[in-house]
Structure 1
C-alpha cells in the first residue's frame, strides 16, 4: 500500500512541481521502483535475518546462508508477482510491449546476483556490528537518490555521469526501463561489463560470509 502512495507522491512532485519532461512519467517511475524495491527490501530485511532468528541459529545447525537468501527469494517472488500489475498498467497507458521483454530473465539474474551478494554481506556483518541494521535503511535511501529511479539518467550533469559507472544499480534500472518502458533491448555492452563484476562480488561475498558465519551462533 505504502509503495503505491509513494508512487503517486513521486509522480506528482516530479511531473508537476519539478517538471521532469517524461511522457507517462508514472509508468516511467513504476518500471524502476519495482526492481529498486526488490533490491532495497531484500538488503534491509536481510540485515536482521540472524538477529531476529537467534533462537533458531543457536539451537539448530543448518546452512546459515539460507536465512538471508530466503529473504532474497521471497522478495524476488514478490517482484515477479507485481509484474502482473505492471504489464496491464503499461498497456493501459498505451505503452507497447515488445520482444525485448525476452531479455528480462537476463537482467533479473544479474540483479539477483547483486541482491544476493549484498544480503549475505549485510546479514553476517550485522551480527558483529549491530547498528548496521539501522544504518542499512539510511544507506539505501542515499543510494536510492544516487540512482536514476525517480529521474532520467540524462538529468545527471555531464561531469557526474562517469560516477554512474560505479553504481551497479544504475545500469540495471536503465535496462529495466529499456525493456518495459521504451520497448528496446538493453545495452548489452554495458551489461556484459557489469556481469563479471557482479559475479566476482557474489563470490567474494559468499567467501566472506562463509568465513564470518562460523561464529554467528556465539555472537547473536
Structure 2
C-alpha cells in the first residue's frame, strides 16, 4: 500500500535554509524575472541600452560643472566622481527595485508559489548588468582624461560582488518593512539623499574633519565606494584592512536581511 506524503510542521526545515534550496530550484524563474526587467527597461526607450551608459555620464557632467572648482585638488575629477556615482547608482536602484519588486509581485505570490526572495535577487542581478555596462563610459572618461588603467582593475568584479551582497541584504530588509509599512518606500528616498551626502561620492574623503573620521568610517557605503574606486580610479589593489570590513558588513547585513525576510515571507500573500 502506498502511503501519501504528509506535512509535519515539527520536521519543517528552517525557513532561511529552505529558501536557499528553493532559490536553486527556481533559478530559471529568477533568470526570466531578470530578463523581463532588462527588456522592460530598454524596450520602449529611444536610446535603448545606451541610456544605461549615458545616464551616469550626464550626472558626471552636471557634478563636474558644479563641483570641479570646489574640489580642484582631486586629479581628473570627472573620473573620480563618475567612479563613485555608478557604484552609488547601483546601490540606490537595486535596493529600490528589490523593495518595489515584492510589492508589485504580490499578485503572483497570491496565485502561485514562488520563492519570495526571487524578486529581490532578480533586482540585484538586473542592477549588476546595468553596473557592468556603466563601467564602459567610466573607462572612456578615464582614457580621455589620461587616467592610467592598470591591472588592479581585474579586482573590480570582486568589489561589485561585495557591493551586490550588501545591497541584497538592505533590499530584503526594506522589502519586508515595505510590505507592512508602505510609507517606507517614500521615506527611503529621503534617507538615500542624506546617505549619499554622508558618503564620499562627489567629494574627497580628505575634507572630512579629523574628529569625525572614526564615526565616518562606520558608514558601510564609505567602505564599499572606496573598495570600488581603488582598483579602477586609484589603480591599486585594496589591502586586507580595506577588504575585510566591507566583506564583514556585507555578509552580516545579508544574513540579517535574509533571516528577517524569510521569517515574515509567509504573510506576504495576505498583505501585498
Q: Quick one: which of 113, 126, 138 aligns to 1:74? A: 126
* Within-5 A mapping of 1:138-153: 138-153=190-205
Q: Quick one: which of 174, 177, 201 aligns to 1:125? A: 177
Aligned residue pair count: 219
Structure 2 distance, partners of 1:85, 1:150, is 17
* Within-5 A mapping of 1:194-209: 194-209=246-261
8 Å CA contact 2:147, 2:233 repeated in 1: yes
8 Å CA contact 1:47, 1:132 repeated in 2: no
Structure 2 distance, partners of 1:19, 1:86, is 19
- Segments of 4+ moved more than 6 angstroms: none
8 Å CA contact 2:166, 2:249 repeated in 1: no
**Is residue 34 from structure 1 mapped to residue 64 from structure 2 by the alignment?**
no
Q: Which has the higher contact order (CA 8 A, sep 6+)?
A: 1
Q: Classify the secondary structure of the residue corresponding to 2:101.
A: coil
1:2 Cα deviation from its structure 2 partner: 4.8
Structure 2 distance, partners of 1:51, 1:202, is 20
Q: Which residue of 2 aligns with 1:111?
A: 163
1:188 Cα deviation from its structure 2 partner: 2.4
User: Structure 1 residues 2, 95: closer, same or farther in 2, change over 3 A?
Assistant: closer
8 Å CA contact 1:64, 1:213 repeated in 2: yes
Q: Which residue of 2 aligns with 1:12?
A: 65
User: Structure 1 residues 85, 181: closer, same or farther in 2, change over 3 A?
Assistant: same
1:165 Cα deviation from its structure 2 partner: 2.1
TM (normalized to structure 2)?
0.77
**Is residue 136 from structure 1 mapped to residue 188 from structure 2 by the alignment?**
yes
Q: Classify the secondary structure of the residue corresponding to 1:23.
A: coil
User: Structure 1 residues 112, 19: closer, same or farther in 2, change over 3 A?
Assistant: closer
Structure 1 distance, partners of 2:247, 2:56, is 29
RMSD between aligned residues: 1.4
Q: Classify the secondary structure of the residue corresponding to 1:48.
A: helix
Any unmatched runs of 5+ in structure 1?
none
* Larger Rg, first or second structure (1 or 2): 2
Q: Quick one: which of 35, 39, 43 aligns to 2:95? A: 43
Structure 1 distance, partners of 2:58, 2:149, is 26
